Homo-oligomer: A and B are copies of this chain.
Amino acid sequence: MKRNIYLNPLSFDDAQNCIDTEFRFKENHKTEIISVEDSLGRISSSPVIAKLSNPNHNAAAMDGISVKSASTHEADPRNPVKLSVDIDFKWVDTGDVLPDDMDAVIMMEDLSEAEQKSVVITSPAVPWQHVRPVGEDIVCSEMIIPSMHRIRPVDIGAMIGGGITAIEVIKKPVVGIIPSGTEIIETPDQMIPGAILDSNSRMFSAMVSEYGGTPLRYSPVKDDYKLLKEAVIKALEECDLVILGAGSSAGSEDFSKSIIEEIGTLLFHGIAIKPGKPAIFGKASEKPLICIPGYPVSAWIVFDRLVQPLIRAMSRVKAEPKLKRSGILTRPLVSSLKHLEYVRVKCGQVGENTIVTPLSRGAGITMSLVNADAIVEVPREYEGYPAGSEVPLYMLKPWEEISERLVSIGSHDLLMDIINEIMIRNGSSGLSSTHSGTMGGVMAVKRGECHIAPVHVLNPENGVYNTHLLKQYLADNEVVIVKGIKRVQGLIVAEHNPEKITSITDLAERGLSFVNRQRGAGTRILFDYLCGKRNIPADSIKGYGREMNTHMSVAQAVLSGTADAGMGVESAARSMGLDFIPIGEEDYDFILRTEVLDSEAGQTFLNVLCSEQFKLEVNRLGGYILDAPGKIIRKEEC
């Protein structure tokens, strides 16, 4: 059985050098002639020279009279001169052509008497005063814009004004995109088990547009060598660069490699980057022919880092310069020595610090890229960075958006999406939520890594939720509790509860499979507490070690039949049409840094909690009880 093993993947720099050497797009380019009116954002391929002067005639620059300056020389306050219409002067408005026999304009305001047929002036006119001369704006044969200039609206105005109607610009490179894989489907209505929606090729198309190219997306091709080869040959004829989107099967990648070898030259297979390792770069008909791995994050990274420069070299559309920013890691970031690793992170501005929290690193987690604010690169031969390190950031979202958000780290609840949405609708920048469980949130507040921590943990000593956290863990911090909602926790089970589960005891006694939350999650702490109360050894429960990060993922595991039950909130069960066995109510509250109360974002947050809109949305979700949301409890009251 032949398998591709990347014993010696190329380093990123070597890969880039290889591409630069093979394809010298920076040195030559295709051009096309288009209408000036359609040229916004395009790149001029040669200097644009005015064909007409603008204005194309001498014109009055003021409302008033046009005169022969020679006939005004004598005028003086002590010697007013009377001028007669048509003989000595003609009336003109701003913009009027200067009559051929006149060489100056006197402003309305400077006439000491003004009748329709005669005027009196008391000072002479200097030749060409208040005259807008031919070519004052643009002189015929003057250069309007140089070559390699990205055309702006004002350039379009100047070109039209200079008599130019058509312009030679850099031709947009046509980038062919061929999705491959028998499992690939184009629309959700074709969904069957094992099918994968063709999302990468749509993402590539949008990326090509952003880089100044024209995407040409083909229909997905099955894992059939002959069909795929035909598709590639056709695309090479029609496009300037061809992307093969590999399917998720190993066979798909093998085919792509063989096709590149058969109809062109394989440049390299495998790059020492993560995600993105299995990329294949080749050359056919002097064009780049690139096979991009199927996992969405790998696909994005390879496209962004290695395909983008190729397309931009052809389109000449420069990337918006990225600001160089850095931030402080809130957690250690461990990386392999073997790869240059791209880690997706969330960022936030907490006090003086830009804080950086790594997200999931799976190559398949598109949402880690959607939710990421930036990427941290861990170079090859680095073991990673310890917590507290300052790391450079490659920003994925505008800094303005990031810096004004409330940073929330802690327990997960659907509620956080609702609060975020209402904040945004009210014109705020919203929340940046990272789900680390209650204790993760408490520690993040303690270390100054977030503004706000959603928490839900029982004080077994008095049966009260959350308030004990302030004195127990945050004695030295300026923090308050803001009351949130009460929520019902319970067991999420399949629709109609086929296993007739009624309690945690059932799980242990009947060997049913469970799906757990991650360590530090309040729900897990509650589960452990309940097990303890019932004297059930937690590890006697099948699946106790299978961890999910959110209520929704737990519900999903139950929905897909891989677990009989999971612990979570009613809203998660409801949203997937699952059954729910209530076990108890708990308080889901927020720890806030005191200073946040005074900030604009903090005020918006509090307002949202007290709003009718919030009440409405929460009631729609179900499983929540609104008691006194937004109520502030200070440490001394705990």
A460 at the B interface (CB under 8 A): no
In the complex, which residues 221-269 of chain A have their Cβ closer than 8 Å to any Cβ of chain B? 247-251
Query: For A34, what are the chain B residues with a Cβ–Cβ distance below 8 Å?
Result: none
- Residue from the list B108, B202, B318, B421 in contact with A147, Cβ < 8 A: B421
Q: Considering the complex, give the chain B residue whose CB is closest to the CB of A399.
A: B321
A138 at the B interface (CB under 8 A): yes
| CB–CB B576/A193 < 8 A | no
In the complex, which residues 150-182 of chain A have their Cβ closer than 8 Å to any Cβ of chain B? 152-161, 163, 165, 181
CB of A246 to closest CB in B, whole Å: 10
| CB–CB A370/B158 < 8 A | yes
| CB–CB A560/B133 < 8 A | yes
A198 to B40, CA, bound (A): 17
A327 at the B interface (CB under 8 A): no
| CB–CB B154/A366 < 8 A | yes
- Contact count band on A: 35 or more
1/0 per residue A274-307: CB within 8 Å of B? 0000000000000000000010100010000000
Q: Considering the complex, give the chain B residue whose CB is closest to the CB of A572.
A: B141
- When all copies of this chain in the complex are counted, the total is 2
In the complex, which residues 88-144 of chain A have their Cβ closer than 8 Å to any Cβ of chain B? 93-97, 103, 108, 114, 116, 126-128, 132-144
- Residue from the list B95, B138, B247, B553 in contact with A367, Cβ < 8 A: B138
1/0 per residue A33-56: CB within 8 Å of B? 000110010000001000111111
Q: A248-B95, A250-B93 are in contact. Are A132 and B364 (CB under 8 A)?
A: yes
Query: For A318, what are the chain B residues with a Cβ–Cβ distance below 8 Å?
Result: 398
Query: For A140, what are the chain B residues with a Cβ–Cβ distance below 8 Å?
Result: 556, 559, 576
| CB–CB A147/B425 < 8 A | yes
| CB–CB A197/B163 < 8 A | yes
1/0 per residue A378-420: CB within 8 Å of B? 0000000000000000000011100000000000000001001
CB of A136 to closest CB in B, whole Å: 6
CB of A99 to closest CB in B, whole Å: 11
Q: Considering the complex, give the chain B residue whose CB is closest to the CB of A542.
A: B127
- Interface stretch of the complex, out of A331-339, A468-476, A543-551, A599-607: A543-551
- Interface stretch of the complex, out of A204-212, A486-494, A520-528: A204-212
Query: For A250, what are the chain B residues with a Cβ–Cβ distance below 8 Å?
Result: 63, 93-94
